[in-house]
Structures are given as C-alpha cells and as structure tokens.
Amino acid sequence: MNYNDVLKTARTCIGNYCKACTICNGIACKNSLPGPGAKGVGDTAIRNYQKWQEIRVNMDTLFAPQSVDTSLTLFGQTFQYPFFAGPVGAVNLHYGDKLNDMSYNEILVSACKENGIAAFTGDGTDPRVMESATAAIANADGRGIPTVKPWNLDLIREKVKLAHKAGAFAVAMDIDAAGLPFLKNMTPPAGGKSVAELRQISDLVGVPFIVKGVMTVNGALKAKEAGASAIVVSNHGGRVLDQCPATAEVLPEIAAAVGSEMKVLVDGGIRSGTDIFKALALGAHGVLICRPFVTAVFGGEKEGVKSYIDKLADELKDAMTMCGAFRLSEITRDMVRK
Amino acid sequence: MNYNDVLKTARTCIGNYCKACTICNGIACKNSLPGPGAKGVGDTAIRNYQKWQEIRVNMDTLFAPQSVDTSLTLFGQTFQYPFFAGPVGAVNLHYGDKLNDMSYNEILVSACKENGIAAFTGDGTDPRVMESATAAIANADGRGIPTVKPWNLDLIREKVKLAHKAGAFAVAMDIDAAGLPFLKNMTPPAGGKSVAELRQISDLVGVPFIVKGVMTVNGALKAKEAGASAIVVSNHGGRVLDQCPATAEVLPEIAAAVGSEMKVLVDGGIRSGTDIFKALALGAHGVLICRPFVTAVFGGEKEGVKSYIDKLADELKDAMTMCGAFRLSEITRDMVRK
Amino acid sequence: MNYNDVLKTARTCIGNYCKACTICNGIACKNSLPGPGAKGVGDTAIRNYQKWQEIRVNMDTLFAPQSVDTSLTLFGQTFQYPFFAGPVGAVNLHYGDKLNDMSYNEILVSACKENGIAAFTGDGTDPRVMESATAAIANADGRGIPTVKPWNLDLIREKVKLAHKAGAFAVAMDIDAAGLPFLKNMTPPAGGKSVAELRQISDLVGVPFIVKGVMTVNGALKAKEAGASAIVVSNHGGRVLDQCPATAEVLPEIAAAVGSEMKVLVDGGIRSGTDIFKALALGAHGVLICRPFVTAVFGGEKEGVKSYIDKLADELKDAMTMCGAFRLSEITRDMVRK
Amino acid sequence: MNYNDVLKTARTCIGNYCKACTICNGIACKNSLPGPGAKGVGDTAIRNYQKWQEIRVNMDTLFAPQSVDTSLTLFGQTFQYPFFAGPVGAVNLHYGDKLNDMSYNEILVSACKENGIAAFTGDGTDPRVMESATAAIANADGRGIPTVKPWNLDLIREKVKLAHKAGAFAVAMDIDAAGLPFLKNMTPPAGGKSVAELRQISDLVGVPFIVKGVMTVNGALKAKEAGASAIVVSNHGGRVLDQCPATAEVLPEIAAAVGSEMKVLVDGGIRSGTDIFKALALGAHGVLICRPFVTAVFGGEKEGVKSYIDKLADELKDAMTMCGAFRLSEITRDMVRK
C-alpha cells in the first residue's frame, strides 16, 4: 500500500468537499467551507503550495556518501523525522461521516507515535474532542501535542489540565482561530491574545508552549516575549483570513528575526520531503503537514499514515543525500535557490 | 438572503451583457460595450481586480480582542463603513430593461442610507437622470453624492443647483468621462478641465468637491491645487481609456504625494472587505464599489444592497480583527505585503 | 463597415493559414509557415504583442480640451497619422489566392495615400513585384516606401532605379531578410550587410533611407554610421529568427542611444491606437503595422483599409486626449508606465 | 524525411510513456517513471525547457555575410557541431520493447559519428550494456563517450577498462545517478563521491574525464579540483532530484566561476539550434541533448538521427548568421537577453 493507493481508497469514503487529490494544492477545494477549502476567494492555500514550488533545490553530489540521520530533537524528545501531523478539528463537518474528531485523533496519534513522529490534535466546542485527543496522547506516552483554541482563561485552564494529565510533552495554541468561520459567535468566544495574556497562558502550560498562527516578524517577537518555546509560521491553510501571504514567503524573515532561542516550525502547502528540506533550509526547525494526513487516515487508517510518513521520509532523505546534508543541522540556506 | 442568492436572482433579470458572476473580475464581460465591459481590448478592469489579489494581508492576532469600529467621518458626516456605492449611468443600456437610471438610483440611494453608507449617483444626457438622483438624495437627507459629468460651465451650474437643493453633503465630478464612448460627439460635450476651470467648478460647488478619475500623482496635485476636497483614484473601470494601470498600482504613490489635507478614495476591482482593508492600508481613506451594487439592486433591490453591505462589513471587520486594527486609523501600511 | 465587419469578410476569403483573428496576437498562427506565423517554436510574434500590453497608459484629464493634431512630418512629407502600413511579400503563398503581391500593393498603396498615411511595399524574387509596387507608388505621387531586400549591389541598384522612377519619398531595406525561410538558397542571395556596404546602398538610394530590422543598440548605431535616415526596430514579426526579444522591450534603449538625428520607427504586435501612443511615449517617431492591413485588404479592399485607419486614428486621438497630449511632440515618456 | 516525419513514425512504435511530442518540453510525460518523466512532482524537466525560452536572441544582421563554421574542438577531437547526443539507460524500460540499450546505442553512436558529432552512451546494472556501448564506440573509432555510473571503485575500474579498450576519446560519469529511483538499493550501490574519490577515478580514467550532473558553483569547483576536464551542468532531466533549478538558471554563474581551464557543457531542455546558441552565449562550450535523440532513433533509426542533427545544425547556423557570429568563439554574452 503506497500513498497513491491510500488516496484512491480515500476517494471512496471521504465526504463531498475533499477530492483527495493526487497533489493537494488547494485548487479543487478552493473556498469550499465546510470542507477543506480556504476562506473568502480562497487563494491562500493555493499560494501556500505554489510558493514552495518556486524554491528550488541546489543538488550537489560531490560528497562521500554517508548514512542520513533525519532525527529531530525538540524539547528533549527525539523524533525520527522533522515533521509532524497538524491539528484538525470538526473532522466530520469538513470530511464526512466516516470519522469524527475522536476516532480521527485516535488513529492519527498512535500511528504517528509508532512511526517515529508526533501528531498535533485539534480542539472543538464539544469538550469530548479534547478529552479523547488527550486520552490518545496519554496512550502514546505523551507523544502528541494538544492544540488548545484561544478560549478565555478558564476554559484554557481546563483544557491544559487534560494535556498535563496526558503527559503531553508540549502544548500548542492556534492563536489565529478567531478567524475560523465556525467559531464565530460561539460561547465561549475564541479570540486574539495580548502578550500579557499569552504569557499567563504560557506560564499555565508549564511544558513547552507552541504558538501556532504567526505570519509576521512582529507577531513572532511578541510570541517570544510571552515565553513561547516555539511558533508555527502558519496562516491556518487560508481558513482564518482571506489573502494572506504564503508561509514560504514570510518564513525566512521570521526565522532570521527570532534568533535561536525560540524554535520555528512552519506549515502550509508542504506536501513532500523535498518541501520539508526547503523549509529547513529557509530556517525552520520542523514542519507540520495537515490535509494529506486526513486523506491518509481516511484512505488507510494507521497503514495509510505509515505510508505517507514513509513517502515523506524517503523524499527527505533523498533531497538530503543529493545535497550533501547528512543530518538536519547540515541543511543550510545555500542549499535552496529562491 | 445572502449575496450569493442575490446574484442568482440577478442572473434571471439582468440584461445580456452582465453575467452577474460570483467573482466580478472583468473577465466574462471583458470589452462588451454596451454592457459592463471595458474599452478597447478590455483588460483594464481585469487588471484592477488582479492587482488587489497580489497584495496580501499580514495577519497578526497577538492583540487583546477589542470591538471593531469601522466608522468613517468624511466632511463632517459619519458613515458606518469606509465604502460607498459608486455612480452608474445608462443603467438600462448596459444592464437591461428591468431598471433605468431613475429607478436604480432611487433604490440604491435609500438602501445605502439605511445601511449606514452613501451612494454616488450618476449623470446622463437626459436631464431627468440628475433630477431624480438628487430627489433620491434629498429623500435620504442629503446622504448621497451626485456625480456631475464634466459638461460646460452652464450645464454644470444647473446640475450643481439640483445638488444644492437636495442638500447633498458633497458633489463629485468624473473628470475622465470624456473617454466614455457613449458621450462622444454629444451636445453639449463633456471633456477635460484645466486647473483654472476646475477651481471655478469647485467654487461653484461650495460643498466638498470630489474629483473622480485621477490616475497620476500630477493629476492628484492639480486636483488639490484646484480646491478639491477629495479625489477618487479611478480609471472608470477601464471604460474611458484602454490599458490603464490598475488603481492598486498607482494608489500608494498618489496617497503619499497629496499629504493629509485632501482625502483619497479609490475604486476599481475592489470586491471584498479584505480588498477594502488593503486599500486603506495603502493610503486610501475610503473606497467606491460599483458593479457589484448593480447586481445587488437587480438581484434583491434594497434587501440585495443590504446583503452586500453586510458581507463587505463582515469581511472588513474580520480583516481588521485578524491584523489587530480596531479602528480605521489603526490600519497601517505594514499590514499588507506587496 | 467597421473593422470587425472587415475581419468577418476576410475570414470568408483569406487562405487557410491566417484566421483573421479579432485580436491579431500571433497565437492562432504561431509557427505556421507558409502562413503569417513566426519561425521556429513561433513565440516571437506572440511576445511582440504581449509586451505592449504590459505597458500601461497614464491617464490624466486635468487639461483644457484642445483639438488633437496627430500629424507627422517625416522627411519633408506630412502624414495625417504616425503610422504606416508595413511591407508584405509572397501574399498568395501566405494568405491565399484571392490576391497576389501586385494586386495587394495596388489596393494598399492607394488606400493608404487617400487616407493620409503611406504604405511600405514588399519585394520578391519575381521582378514584377517591385515593378508593380513602384508603379502603385508612382500613382500615389510617390507616397509609398518601396522596401528592397538585401540583395547584391547590382540587383539593389536595379530596384532602387524603380523607386526613383516612382518618385518614392523614401526607400527601405529589410536588412534582416536573410533569415526568411523562403529566401534561403535563392539566387541571387539576400544577406546581411556591413556598415561599408550599407553606406554604399544609402548613397545609391539618395532619398531618405530606412533600415528595417534593427533589434540592438549596436545595430542602430551601425545603421546611423552608414547614413540611414531612419531605422525600424523590428524582428520581422518573428519570421526571420526564432526567439527574439519583443520590439517593445528593446525600443526604449535604442531610441535613447541614437539621439535625434536618426528617426526611429517600430513594428511588431502594434494593433491599436493605444499601442501607437505607447510606442511614441517610448521614443518612436512612428510605427509600422503589417498583418492587420492584410486582413483589411482581404476583407474590404480600399474600404477595409480606410476602416482600419479610422479605427487606429480614433484610438490614438482618444489616448492623446485622455493623457493631455494634443500633438505628437507632447507625448512623453512619463505618459506610460512600464 | 524531416524530423517531424520521424516523430510521427516514433509515435507508432515507442512505448506508452513517451508521446514523442512535437515540442519535447516535459509536460506530457511530467512525472511518469518508468518513462521519460521527472521525479517527484515532475516540474524540473518542464522548467529546464521553459527557462531557455525566457532567454532571447539579439538579432543583428549588419555584418558582411560569411560562411558559418560551427565546428568544435574538444580534447583534441574536432566535431562538426557543438552538440552531443546524451546518454540514455534502461531504454526498453522507459521507451518500450522496440529497442534495448544495446541496439539503441549501436544505432546512435554510429549515426552520430557519421554526421560529425558524438554520442554519450549510458550504463546499467547489466554488464552487457557497457560492453555493447563500448563496442559501438570502438566501431566508431573511439568517437563516443561512455558514461560510467558512480559505482564503487572496483566496478568503475572494470568499466573504464572497456572504455580504454574501445579507444573512447573521453569518459564521463553521471555523478548524480545516486538519485535515480531504479538504482536505489541495487548491488553494488551507486552514490556520491568525495573530491578525493573523484580524483582517484579521474586518474584511473586517464583520458579526459567529464563529470556530469553539476548544478552549483561549489560542485563545479570540486570537480575541477578533482581533475575533471569538463563538467556537464545537468539535473539529469529532473530524474534524480525533484525541483532543481533549471540548468539555464545556473549555467552563467557556473561558467563564470570555473574559468577557462575546465570545459563546461550543459543539458536539460535544449531542443533547437537556437537553444544551443543561447547556451554558448551563456558560457557553455557545448551541449548535450537527450530525449529527442531517443525519438529520432525510434522514429527513423540512423536516418532519424541524421534528420535531427541536420535540423539542429540549420537552426544553429541560422542563429549565428542572424547575430553576426560566424564561428563558435564569436558567440558572446551580449548576443542574448535575459
């Protein structure tokens, strides 16, 4: 079962909005919401994908071959690869009845753990989403990152408790969730946070705190000031604000600005190991991939996840070998052309 | 009734030239004249739309949430939003028999007034157009902007009298109307104006005078010298001269050149609240939107207008919230990426 | 009969290669040779057209209206407009049996003369082509420009004698004709010329000598050194060398380099009066238009030519009026945006 | 039989993956592997082709015509033209049953020799591939370049012996072959080489050694340090690493960096004599063309190869004549526009 087979199966059981495209580039779903599309005119996810394609890889094989080490150490944890499955919420609203947030996370978290990486889990207005996600993370010995929405402090406190109970090695917050159409006018509201509020949350979290949804140097510096251990350069796949820049466009300047104390992750249109290589060359420590893991779970459950991880791993190793980078720290800016 | 429903209805009753497209981007109508198309090869309206898409919004949600105030004060009047319905003329020539200039303006002016904004009305060779437009503005307590064509001074004087009688808070002139194919060889002729002539007109107008159809820094400085209170950076949707630059291309340099004494408005391809946000970030005080209000009136009359205004308002608030701008004056140049 | 009607008729009687497209942009004919297409992969004519579209016109109507004078004085002759019909050869090979070089030139030369401009005529291996072309020019009181191919000096001398006899006010040579596939391996051969050879030809010509087919600053300076009165910046519509730059790309640097003593004309993808305005703003003194005159002659003979000239004239006046240029010398570089 | 006829015949007998397209630009085959496609998303071969099209040729015919000398002297050998047929391997896997590596090389090597150029031959895991290739080269009096894969030193030594026995005037190694999907996990493995290893190989080779698959300045300098007589700037048609830059993008900086001691060849998307001219103008001494020779052999065997060589030769001479370059050394950087 390779990832193309997984996609074929996914097409038979995924909801009407996602087409489980061979190349998941935001074109077929464009602005279908509900569904995996982007907000407004819907070109942000497309731009995310395309801007990675404009970055090219500088092949150089005049190196003695070495075995490739793709392992990433983050917050004291070692992962086999520098990529993570991204958080998804409202799975059956957007992707159909076959799975819901609970069953989706259960499959994803354990499959990721078993294959050497970790999954971010999503959050929702239904409290059971976070409960089951953190239960799955607990089963995975804490190798998963619960992603709490930017609720009010009371609700955040509750959710963080679940994360602590699960032994999650880190906790994330998608700080841009205020823009999600499906969270509009919900009670309690989810919204932006000031630096002071974010510091409170960071203190509350205790374990490494990852702020997801940063698209500007200024935002990154505020997250750092608030005590974040990492940020995810992300525009939420275009789902929270119409017509953002692509993450590949803003990553280099953000990575340059934050220095080495805070880790920089990135998501948005990263689909292959080659794309991962590019992101690392542009300054990211690791990446998140989201929609393709959804089709992987729909199309092949744990085996589907494994096949996609294997594909990414092969491609990443390939790119590293062909550029003479044999561990992640050897991937440098001059290995890509922009 | 949302704006998509309005468009659907519009498609059943609008004339043959306008397709009431979901995205009104100048492609389907291209150079259909009569109709809503542009002049010559017809790519100016398309370029207007596309150049806004190239400007991207720099999301940053690390702000404490605040309620958003979108209100604009212009010439002593306060509007709920920084956008206006643009002027249209020869409605039944271009858009079919359902409405004419008189019935169109009547619906539009009052619907805009009731929803917190104001409409610009058009002018025509038939004197009844301006008469009924100013009557509609009078009914709206002067919340409307009659747009006088650049006739000779005698005719302008007559039209301005009507504007005064209606208590219009401002009067505009589309100084580029000489290029309209349907005004060619008419009596009296409409044409360009020298600075001296424009100052005469400005004095005659008395109330704030808005010069519409400026596309160069030099033109803007001449309008200022002539005493204009505001300009509209506009290429008349491509209908007066083939192959102009897009308004989004020239707005920043014009806004920078005129300083703060004269207000800068802009139109051309602005279709969403996100586009409005971009225009304000690039230096505009407000925007005009034209063709989509036509489909709104055809597709839903006053309710149609309301649904489009609500859509724009929601999108604008969304963009402001997601960038940490809680009133219009907080929208700054660094909030967009060009 | 407007030019669109002319095109419709042309489609009924022109040969199989030319489609008499509404927009003559090199796409439908691409590399059809015989036919109006370009050489090799055939993208040079397409690029010629497209590069004009990238140049935009800076509208400014804050000028007192004046009547527009489009007249051009060149070599002591006054023309109503700054455009010429370009030379065509092998008409029935490329455009079908309805016309041949003789009948084509007869119609074109007189129709151009009657409508205030002049036509360049083509040359061919058949001596009757130049004989009949110069006869047509004689009938037009010398208002036509015979274009001699770069044969050997003896043959050039013969052809120039015909030009003299016709009283042609100028003589041109398409110095790039060596690249024409249909002249390959013909006797006598047509080929490039050294500066010394070109000076000999220029002396022989006596009347103003126009060197057509210059695409570099260096080439322009050599033509000047050889005594040319004018050059035509031209890549022969892509028919002599695959993958040239567009003429709009090289015109500004060539115009800047040659100074005011030698006139600069340009052709390639100029289709509208707006394009003519752009060419003049970028430094040309006049332009040549070729293929659309072929469809004009096929579709409407003398009336067809008139309708196309009228169309161009209207568009040019329009662009001038809308930019505040009321005679050709007032068209300046800052009136276009590149 | 011209090359278009050859392509037509090729379409009747080539395997399912290659479409023998009129323009071989990587679009139809994209990422079909097996087949002639590129690796991963498959846009590298497409980019190779397109980047040549962006480079334009600066025509200047103000030169006295001379006869054109296209001959190239490389490593003491004189060739009629500065282009070579590139190496292909696994012919029947990628192109169908009609031919295999043995029969393909036999036709290609002799046809190239007879028409004044030379072919690079490929290598494979089957030892008979190199045996028959070198036999063909021996029959062509050593006018062929065996291309050895980067095996371990023992196997390289064996293969080089065959090359020596054949009297090959040069030996190449495609140093990027480690990325070929079909060589993955084979025994013995093919892989990258350190400078030290490459120098060993270069010493072993004795005759001029050509390192194929260099895409960076740094890689080129390492090849030079290791004693290579030439490099081929190549991304292996996109088949060894996804999303490389086009070779036309990196050629100028590499050619500038290596100086005149080491020769620079280039391949990737070069399809016409005009493209060859561009490559030489950008600093290459010669070029390799690969896929079109496959369709030439399938579609017309030796005659097919001749027709393609003749086509390239005509186009190259044409471009040279039209730019005033009458021998290869006269092709200079200013003859192209980028």
Question: What digits encode the pLDDT tens for the residues D243-286?
Answer: 999 999 999 999 999 988 999 999 999 999 999 999 999 999 99
Residue A332 falls inside a structural domain: no
Element (H, E) at B308: helix B291-323
Residue B185 clears pLDDT 80, i.e. is over it? no
Q: Which residue's entry shows tokens 């001494």?
A: D285
B interface toward C at CB cutoff 8 Å? 40-41, 43, 47, 150, 175-176, 178-179, 189, 191-198, 213-216, 218-219, 222-223, 226, 235, 240-245, 249-250
**Mean pLDDT for all residues in chain D:** 96
> Rounded to whole angstroms, how far apart are CA atoms B251 and B244?
13
Residue C188 clears pLDDT 80, i.e. is over it? no
Element (H, E) at C72: strand C72-74
Provide the 3-class DSSP secondary structure of residue B171. Answer: strand
Residue A40 falls inside a structural domain: yes
pLDDT of residue A184: 78
Residue B241 clears pLDDT 90, i.e. is over it? yes
Which range marks the domain in which residue C299 is found?
3-29+36-53+76-324
Pairs of CB atoms within 8 A across A/B: 97
Q: Give the residue-averaged pLDDT of C66-77.
A: 97
Enumerate the residues of chain C whose CB falls inside 8 A of the CB of residue B194: 62-64
Pairs of CB atoms within 8 A across C/D: 96
pLDDT of residue C251: 98
Token representation of residue D279: 């490559």
Enumerate the residues of chain A whose CB falls inside 8 A of the CB of residue D175: 61-62
Chains A and C touch (3+ CB pairs under 8 A): no
Number of domains in chain C: 1
Enumerate the residues of chain A whose CB falls inside 8 A of the CB of residue D241: 57, 59, 274, 318-319, 322
Put simply, the answer to whether B60 touches A249 (Cβ < 8 Å) is: no
Residue A336 falls inside a structural domain: no
Longest Cα–Cα distance of chain D, Å, equals 60
Residue C234 banded pLDDT, cuts 50, 70, 90: very high
| Shortest CA gap C248–chain D (Å) | 13
Question: How confident is the model over A145-173, as pLDDT tens digits?
Answer: 999 999 999 999 999 999 999 999 999 99
Q: Give the residue-averaged pLDDT of B188-198.
A: 91
Q: Who contacts A187 (Cβ-Cβ below 8 Å, separation ≥6)?
A: none
CATH number of residue B186's parent domain: 3.20.20.70
pLDDT of residue A190: 85
Strand partners for D239: none
Residue D118 falls inside a structural domain: yes
Enumerate the residues of chain A whose CB falls inside 8 A of the CB of residue D191: 61, 65
Token representation of residue C18: 């030319």
Q: Give the chains touching C; criterion: ≥3 Cβ pairs < 8 Å.
A: B, D
> Rounded to whole angstroms, how far apart are CA atoms A223 and A76?
21
Residue B315 is nearest to which of A40, A218, A219, comparing CB atoms? Answer: A40
pLDDT of residue D40: 94
Residue B107 falls inside a structural domain: yes
Residue C185 clears pLDDT 80, i.e. is over it? no
Query: Which of B137-141, B176-180, D294-298 has the least mean pLDDT?
Result: B176-180
Q: Who contacts B264 (Cβ-Cβ below 8 Å, separation ≥6)?
A: B220, B230, B231, B233, B251, B254, B255, B258, B283, B284, B285
Residue B71 falls inside a structural domain: no
Put simply, the answer to whether D59 touches C193 (Cβ < 8 Å) is: no
Residue B179 phi/psi, 5-degree rounding, is -85, -5
Nearest CA in chain B to A43: B53
C interface toward B at CB cutoff 8 Å? 23, 53, 55-65, 272, 274, 278, 315, 318-319, 321-322, 324, 337
Residue C186 clears pLDDT 80, i.e. is over it? no
Residue C288: exposure state from Cβ atoms within 10 A (0-12, 13-18, ≥19): buried
> Rounded to whole angstroms, how far apart are CA atoms D212 and D227?
13
- Rounded to 5°, angle at Cα C304 from C303 and C308: 115
Residue D64 falls inside a structural domain: no
Residue D62 is nearest to which of C40, C189, C223, comparing CB atoms? Answer: C223
> Rounded to whole angstroms, how far apart are CA atoms B168 and B137?
7
> Rounded to whole angstroms, how far apart are CA atoms D279 and D271?
11
Residue C129 falls inside a structural domain: yes
Put simply, the answer to whether A53 touches D40 (Cβ < 8 Å) is: no
For the whole model, what pTM was predicted? 0.97
Residue C230 clears pLDDT 90, i.e. is over it? yes
Angle between helix A153-166 and helix A195-205 axes, rounded to 10 deg: 30
Residue C316 phi/psi, 5-degree rounding, is -65, -45
ipTM of the complex: 0.96
pLDDT of residue A1: 83
Q: Give the residue-averaged pLDDT of C130-151.
A: 97
